[in-house]
Structure 1
């Protein structure tokens, strides 16, 4: 009888040790993996942000429209995009100040570009827009009016 109780206690201790080891080792390993994965996404995020902002600076509304994600293109025709962009003062320059990957347990991962945009005769302002991987590349989603 004592042997059965001893074996039961021993099995519980082993199971507890295994669970503790998985938690202690798994958490840092998954954090390290996500951090490296996020760093690997940054060049593509930067390139997409620069391409979109560069198109805005050049006044190339068609190129900017082509960089929109599918949901935004469905909600806006190219003609509507051109009409909206035509009444806004074109920016003269930009500087990307931050690239962020925001993870949440209750929402999809967000990829965010923050940039300082300059305008002729106006103060510069900070803009943020989201990116999404689509069609083999990064696309701009829900861009603010520049």
Structure 2
């Protein structure tokens, strides 16, 4: 009797193929969900950025931010140049110091957040399982 004639092997092969189809469908569904979440995040980020820029233009974020936004609007600088340090204007330097201070505070807050730490550890473990050579 050939292996292909063995009903147990044929059943195992059929089950294996079904599991592969199910896994592929699940991965496609996950990829679609993650893509939709990414698109929502980008749209929300863009909306928040536009609102912050409008607040800066109105002077609601202080004179340094208003000056920076005017300079960005006039094409004298970009937010990328401000963040990277290419722009050495005093208002850009003040913005970088402010950002650094807030990022440090956020990092410290997240280090003390048990829920964040658990989620981060789970995400890192998942990433390691997906790409063990990383």
If the TM-score is normalised by the length of the shorter chain, which range does it land in? 0.3 to 0.5
Between Structure 1 and Structure 2, which shows a larger proportion of helix residues?
Answer: 2
In terms of fraction of residues, the more strand-rich structure is: 1
Q: What TM-score, normalized to structure 1? A: 0.40
The structure having more radius of gyration, on CA atoms, is 2
